[in-house]
Structure 1
């Protein structure tokens, strides 16, 4: 059983076997294009017209420029002069093999692929963008 961990700096996944051994996966059946795939942009809220902008208004919270925070559902948000950008940190693949399944842990923002049979075959999957 393996757990996929996403590295945001390199925009790639690495897989960790449940016994904590690092295992590189080089399978052509696992194609992932993830950078900036699931992001939403919002303009910074000014509150009142003509008000000076010291950051981004996120609901009732004023976030300073160049700040980063996490919200529910494995989403990371950033405040810049141009607004708020929120991106999903978890892209879950669709499993095509009938003998494999994806198990998602939303509180840890991770998932793992597990085989549902003892057949020695690869789990074919892809990521929807």
Structure 2
């Protein structure tokens, strides 16, 4: 019983640490029709073998399998969450971590998630 509980604790830790930041949108399969472009979730078409960055800071590409997108933003994960807060800048697609009481002062971050 202790071994099972220990295994579950380790698994829960890995699930918490693992942060899936990519996804795939497959092509619609039409028999005999090879795609020459990809259509994203907003209905925008992209040429085959092209790459682009979305408004939500994801890097995407179009290939024979469909659209692949991954998060392009490093997220601060190891900092003093009581004293500090993370702030996202949409223009630069980046976070900064600052003191809650004095946002002019940055806080040290010792771990980031991609």
Say yes or no: TM over 0.5.
yes
- The 4+ residue runs of structure 1 with deviation greater than 4 A are none
The match for 2:47 is 64
Task: Show the counterpart of 1:19.
Answer: none
Aligned counterpart, 2:88: 104
Higher relative contact order (CA 8 A, sep 6+): 1
Deviation for aligned residue 1:88: 1.0
Which has more strand, going by share of residues? 1
How many Å separate the matches in 2 of 1:117 and 1:123?
Answer: 15
TM, length-normalised to structure 1: 0.54
Larger Rg: 2
Alignment of 1:53 onto 2:38: no
Question: For residues 117 and 75 of structure 1, what CA distance do their matches in structure 2 show?
Answer: 31
Higher helix share: 2
Unaligned runs of 5+ in 2: 1-16
Q: Give the 3 Å change call, closer, same or farther, for CA 115–65 of structure 1 in structure 2.
A: same
What per-residue deviation string (whole Å, max 9, x for no partner) do you get for residues 79-111 of structure 1? 112221111111321354132221111232112
Partner of 2:99: 115
Correspondences of 1:11-30 after superposition (within 5 Å) = none
- Count of residues in correspondence between the two structures: 92
Paired residue for 1:38, among 1, 21, 25?
A: 21
Unaligned runs of 5+ in 1: 1-32
Calculate the TM-score normalised by the size of structure 2.
Answer: 0.59
